[in-house]
Structure 1
């Protein structure tokens, strides 16, 4: 069976079939179920996909969220602790994966995959619009040391020069506010919204419309606590200089 024939049978693109075959992407649960049906393989694909997801859940590249993110026309994210993945530099990402005790099969490959995600912001046709909100502590946390932090924050300033990228900061003076329970992201794909929640035990895609709407409202609430664009950029630049 060719890739094209299989793609038609399970209603996905041939590029996704290629990614499944080379282990660059783990099939979502319903896709794995369709594969088991096509190949009459019992639960083999479903069990293999579940095991792969469990062993690599710390690598966002291998979660179902990736498929949505790569096809999104807009992503709205909030990060209370770390720089959003779409904006991370190579050395910052490496420091997170290395120093936070994240278990990955191949550190270099995982870092490269994470950095490649930013390609959605630079697409020739309809680049993804990113509206990121971060807590001020993200700018102050010494991930990897002063040099890495300085380079990372300057990279954010550069990214903000793109017409489709906006980063705003919730200042420390805001105190407690909605969203401090953890990071979240909402992506617009084919005219509908899906969300992603991450926590120490699991990362999960949220597709239920009511729950996505609720998370969208949380993101909007968080954004209200953030400084406007220019003051946020000035705060990021000040923090970058403080690491130099």
Structure 2
């Protein structure tokens, strides 16, 4: 007897509503997952993942579904709303994108990004957080860091930091000393770029907050940080604007070698 797959709850998010509609219209048309895949150019497993909310569809695929089902621009509009709406699952979705990434560009003006943190630096921020289970939070962050660097040179990393990040003695003098040493070690890796925006650069666009641009094989997605969370950005136009902002911040940053020297100067203050 074939396994009957329960439908997603379309009330959870717009992404789940889109996945729900994909399955509803496919079954109403009497199509199998394989037949639907032939319409949008994907394997059966990929269609199944989309209908389960595990994979995000793209514009051309939704356009093909609208043509096949005679739904005008329904699926294209649903995709637009899903991208623009708040996604309660954005954290796990970013993790999935990072697992698939071939490049990651990050800017932060307040804290060293998680992937570049020593465990002691991470623990200092975990202790200062509002989480109740500190050990569980630390374990999640440590696992995420480990997974990031396990990709080796298959993941190209560009990171831009404000000089203020180096100035803040997170965890105390010894913890910060080791953290700065760790930054210099990572900066020597051929697939890692670390650049610092010095105070002497004056005003720049970085005051808007942290950002991340995740390069996938077929497209880029973005993340814009904010208090109590952030927003996953998948609309091509918005991602392009985020990339331009990252580049404009980069114009204000020192060169890689000059940035190493800035880090060394702060390291000397810790010795």
| DSSP-derived class of the 2:104 partner | strand
CA–CA distance in structure 1, aligned partners of residues 4 and 171 of structure 2: 47
Does structure 2 retain, via aligned residues, the 8 Å contact 1:79–1:135?
A: yes
Does structure 2 retain, via aligned residues, the 8 Å contact 1:88–1:115?
A: no
1:80 pairs with 2:109: yes
Decide which moves more: 224-233 or 103-112: 103-112
Q: Say which one has the larger Rg.
A: 2
CA–CA distance in structure 2, aligned partners of residues 63 and 176 of structure 1: 34
CA–CA distance in structure 2, aligned partners of residues 111 and 36 of structure 1: 38
CA–CA distance in structure 2, aligned partners of residues 243 and 31 of structure 1: 50
Matching residue within 144, 148, 152 for 1:120: 148
Which residues in structure 2 correspond to 1:40-51 (within 5 Å)?
Answer: none
Q: 1:37 to 1:89 in 2, by over 3 A?
A: same
Decide which moves more: 28-37 or 198-207: 28-37
Instruction: Give 2:243's aligned residue.
Output: 216
Matching residue within 123, 126, 133 for 1:97: 126
CA–CA distance in structure 1, aligned partners of residues 167 and 125 of structure 2: 15
Does structure 1 retain, via aligned residues, the 8 Å contact 2:13–2:88?
A: no
Instruction: Give 2:71's aligned residue.
Output: none
Matching residue within 143, 162, 174 for 1:147: 174
Q: For structure 1, which runs of at least 5 residues remain unmatched after alignment?
A: 11-26, 39-44, 47-51
| DSSP-derived class of the 1:180 partner | helix
Larger RCO (CA within 8 A; separation ≥ 6): 1
Does structure 2 retain, via aligned residues, the 8 Å contact 1:90–1:112?
A: no
Matching residue within 208, 218, 225 for 1:181: 208
CA–CA distance in structure 1, aligned partners of residues 172 and 13 of structure 2: 37
Could you say what the CA RMSD is over the residues aligned between the two structures, in angstroms?
3.2
The Cα of 1:65 is off from its aligned counterpart by: 1.4
Which residues in structure 2 correspond to 1:186-197 (within 5 Å)?
Answer: 186-197=213-224
| DSSP-derived class of the 1:191 partner | coil
Q: 1:103 to 1:120 in 2, by over 3 A?
A: same
TM-score normalised by structure 1 residue count: 0.73
CA–CA distance in structure 2, aligned partners of residues 35 and 178 of structure 1: 40
Instruction: Give 1:66's aligned residue.
Output: 95
TM-score normalised by structure 2 residue count: 0.67
Instruction: Give 1:24's aligned residue.
Output: none
Q: For structure 2, which runs of at least 5 residues remain unmatched after alignment?
A: 24-51, 54-86
Instruction: Give 2:28's aligned residue.
Output: none
Does structure 2 retain, via aligned residues, the 8 Å contact 1:53–1:63?
A: no
